[in-house]
Structure 1
Amino acid sequence: MSDHFELLGLPRRYALDLRALEQAYLLRSRAVHPDFHTTATPAEQAASLALSAALNAAYATLRDPFRRADYLLNLYGGPSAEEHKQIPPEFLAEMLECREQLEQVRHNPQALADLEADFRRRQDQVIEQLAALFAELEKIPDHEPQHLDIRRRIRMLLNAARYIQGLLRDLHAPAP
């Protein structure tokens, strides 16, 4: 089976035009949607349903910058989150401070809004760093030692992004 990029007719790279992604998804999903194949044979209906589900999964993965990075890293043979759990120690210390801040301002709506803006800014910085690393990775042959180093750095960034996403989620969770 083809990968998500191929399924949607898009180049296999991190930097994607999100409007082109949506257009490719809509075009292909209209062509294979089960509602347009009600008079087809059961085998054709099943194939339509399977392809429609695959398109939905591809679109959901590629439109999210972190899921896209994780998926693309997997295609490049990079380490999974289970294989490489490393996070820069200074980043981890910073995230623990952020968690303490969150607990201190939990009942202050303005302070929570400021923290959310800070966490979103950090998230945007990670996305920019991922884009830069993937752009660098795409220029290097797979067999070069530098390729492996960049894949590991991407994994560390994705591991760090999980912390930021957790903080954003916890901002809106009810206080314990």
Structure 2
Amino acid sequence: MAQRLLIMGPQGVGKGTQAALLSKHYGIPAISTGDIFRYNLKNGTELGKQAKAYTDKGELVPDELTNKIVKDRLGMDDAAQGWILDGYPRSASQVEALDKMLKELDTPLTAVVALDADHDVLMQRIAKRAKEEGRADDTPEAIAKRLDIYAKETAPLLDIYKSRGLLVAVDGQGEVDQICKEIITKLDER
């Protein structure tokens, strides 16, 4: 069965790490909106220039730009047998846009993996990542702003997926491999 997964959680919870491990396990692409935006920023594309105006202020890129990228990406050949979407949806309007995309592509969602961790742990992880990767968008102020936006706008989306019977909640604290095993076990039990 094709796995079409969302991986959700606050910044620094390990979504990208777990998406990469799940991608390898299931043989499907991990699609990170953050990576797509960073690629466009680094290469100075038109989308990158538009996105930079927001990320420089620690703000999230608007839905219109994000929705277009996601739909195009999910329609690519390597995503035909499944995918893991990281960083999307992050708002109720994006949930609606994703529902419409998936219906048009005839690719229903399999599950939503929700990772969580304590606020202090998240702040430490993001600060470490900023230092290791030299990510200018990971200033303490920008981090705090994004965590606040997540709590207000994105966390409530988990209730939507829970009501649809798609939510798989996993503690994002602990050993990376153990967290991955727990995710796979819960997905395989569905």
State if a TM-score over 0.5 links the two structures. no
Q: Which structure has more helix as a fraction of its residues? A: 1
More strand per residue: 2
Relative to the length of structure 1, the TM-score reads 0.26
